[in-house]
Chain A
Amino acid sequence: MSSLSAKIQDIFVEPACEKNRRKDAGARKKGCSKPQTPGAAAGGCAFDGAKVVLQPITDVAHLVHGPLACEGNSWDNRGTASSGPTLWRTSFTTDLTELDIIMGQSERKLFHALRQIKEAYAPPAIFVYATCVTELIGDDIQAVCKRAAEKFGLPVVPINAPGFVGSKNLGNKLAGEALLDHVIGTIEPDDVGPHDINILGEFNLSGEYWLIRPLLDRLGVRVRACIPGDARYREVACSHRARAAMLVCSTALINLARKMEERWQIPFFEGSFYGIAATSEALRRIAELLVKRGADAQILDRTDTLIAEEEAIAWKRLEVYRPRLKGKRVLINSGGVKSWSLVHALMEIGMEIVGTSVKKSTAGDKERIKQVLKDDHRMFESMAPRELYTMLSEHKADIMLSGGRTQFIALKAKTPWLDINQERHHPYAGYDGMVELVRQIDLAIHNPIWSEVREPAPWEIDSHAEEQPSAHTLTEAAGVAPSKTRRHDVGDFAEC
Chain B
Amino acid sequence: MVHVYPQTKSATVNPLKSSQPLGAALAFLGVEGAVPLFHGSQGCTSFALVLCVRHFKETVPLQTTAMDELATVVGGAGHLEEAILNLKERANPRLIGICTTALAETRSEDFARQIANIKMMRAEESGTEIVLANTPDFDGALEEGWSKAVAAMIERITRRGQQARRSKKATVIERIREPGEQPLKPKKLAILPGWHLTVADIEHLREMVESFGLKPVILPDLSGSLDGTVPDRWMPVTYGGTSVEDIQELGTAVQCIGVGEHMRRPAELLQKLTGVPYILFQSLTGVRNVDRFVSLLSEISGVPVPAKIHRCRSQLQDALLDGHLHFAGKKIAIAAEPDQLYQLATFFTGLGAEIVAAVTTTGTSEILQKVPAESIQIGDLGDFEKLAGGADLLVTHSHGRQAAERLGIPLLRVGFPAFDRLGSQHKLTILYRGTRDMIFEAANIFQANQHTPSPEMVDALRKRSNAG
Contacts and interface: CB of A to CB of B under 8 A. Distances in A.
Interface of A: 35-48, 63, 66-77, 86, 89-98, 100-101, 109-117, 132-133, 136-137, 163-166, 385-386, 389-390, 393, 404-405, 407-409, 412, 414, 453, 471, 474-475, 478-479, 486-487, 489
B138 interface: yes
A385 to B, nearest CB: 6
B44 A163 contact: yes
B304 interface: no
B41 A45 contact: yes
Interface stretch (B99-107, B253-261, B453-461): B99-107
B102 A39 contact: no
Interface string B1-44: 00000000111111101111110000000000000010011111
Given A132-B103, A136-B107, 20 more contacts: A37-B66, A38-B65, A39-B64, A43-B46, A44-B43, A45-B42, A68-B19, A68-B20, A72-B19, A74-B51, A76-B402, A90-B14, A94-B11, A112-B11, A113-B10, A164-B71, A164-B72, A475-B233, A479-B233, A489-B90
Interface stretch (B75-83, B287-295, B307-315): B75-83
A271 to B, nearest CB: 29
B238 interface: no
A39 B58 contact: no
Given A42-B42, A412-B231, A92 B236 contact: no
Interface residues of B, number: 71
Contact of A109 (B10, B18, B48, B49): B10
Interface in B355-401: 380, 382, 399
A338 to B, nearest CB: 20
14 contacts: A36-B42, A37-B82, A38-B64, A38-B79, A39-B85, A44-B46, A63-B11, A69-B137, A90-B14, A95-B12, A98-B138, A101-B138, A132-B72, A393-B233
Contacts of B83: 38-39
Contacts of B407: none
Contacts of A474: 232
B23 to A, nearest CB: 11
Given A37-B86, A69-B21, A96-B138, A76 B399 contact: yes
B210 interface: no
Contacts of A389: 233-234
B133 interface: no
Contact of B13 (A73, A90, A412, A414): A90
Contacts of A74: 47, 50-51
Contacts of A69: 19, 21-22, 44, 47-48, 101-102, 137
Contacts of B419: 77
Contacts, number: 226
B66 A136 contact: no
A352 B43 CA distance: 36
Contact of A48 (B15, B43, B58, B69): B43
Nearest to B48: A73
Contacts of B232: 471, 474-475, 478
B102 A132 contact: yes
A68 B10 contact: no
Nearest to B84: A39
B67 interface: yes
Closest 3 CB pairs of A and B: A45-B43, A39-B86, A39-B83
Contact of A164 (B17, B41, B84, B138): B41
B236 A385 contact: yes
A414 B13 CA distance: 40
B47 A70 contact: yes
Contact of B43 (A96, A101, A163): A163
A409 B46 CA distance: 17
Contact of B12 (A73, A93, A133, A164): A93
Contacts of B233: 389, 393, 475, 478-479
A116 B41 CA distance: 30
B15 A75 contact: yes
A472 B77 CA distance: 44
Contacts of B66: 35-39, 41
A113 B89 CA distance: 46
Contacts of B68: 35-36, 164, 166
A132 B41 contact: yes
A97 B138 contact: yes
Given A38-B82, A70-B43, A95-B12, A77 B54 contact: yes
Interface string B217-259: 0000000000000111110100000000000000000000000
Nearest to B419: A77
A96 B17 CA distance: 13
A117 B138 contact: no
A412 B59 contact: yes
Nearest to B138: A67
A31 to B, nearest CB: 11
